[in-house]
Amino acid sequence: MTWVLVALGGAAGTALGVFVAQRQGRRLAWTAAVCALMGAFGAQKHSASLTALVSFGVLGSAASMVALGVAPPIWLDRGAILPTALRVTKRLAVYCAVGVTCALAGYLALRGGTTLYVKLR
């Protein structure tokens, strides 16, 4: 049953990735939001079914939007190989840095808020 939930969540995450891929100017913001949600979801204890569906399924597939955000390689001639490789590497580094930073921020925001709520209660 867990694999079915992961597959269903993956289909939803892929649909989200295709939706975001059509939005040319907002891919980085969507990637940041999805990674922040993944970090926040990782901060809490959930049932195995919910974790399979949301974390591994939807957010795991939607996080692969990083691959959609990378510039497609265009090999025109031998002189274009190095500039294209550098452009793809730079864009991938930016997407990974934003994703990791937002995942950490989401995790820390939820953990910090939970801790503050428990201490002030």
Domain ranges across the chain: 2-120
Cα distance between the two ends of the chain: 38
Alpha-carbon span 73 to 102, nearest angstrom? 27
If DSSP codes are grouped into helix, strand and coil, which group holds residue 23? coil
Kindly report, residue by residue over 5-38, the tens digit of the pLDDT: 778 877 887 777 777 777 666 777 777 887 788 7
Give the separation between CA 107 and CA 55, rounded to whole angstroms. Answer: 13
Judge if pTM exceeds 0.75: no
The three-state secondary structure class of 45 is: coil
Owner of token pair 């937002």: 102
Phi and psi at 82, nearest 5°, equal -65, -45
CA distance linking residue 12 with residue 27, whole number of Å: 17
Compute CA distances 52 → 1, 10, 16, 104, whole Å. Answer: 10, 10, 17, 20
Q: Has residue 70 got a pLDDT over 60? A: no
Task: State the maximum Cα–Cα separation within the chain, in Å, rounded to a whole number.
Answer: 65
Segment 108-120 mean pLDDT: 90
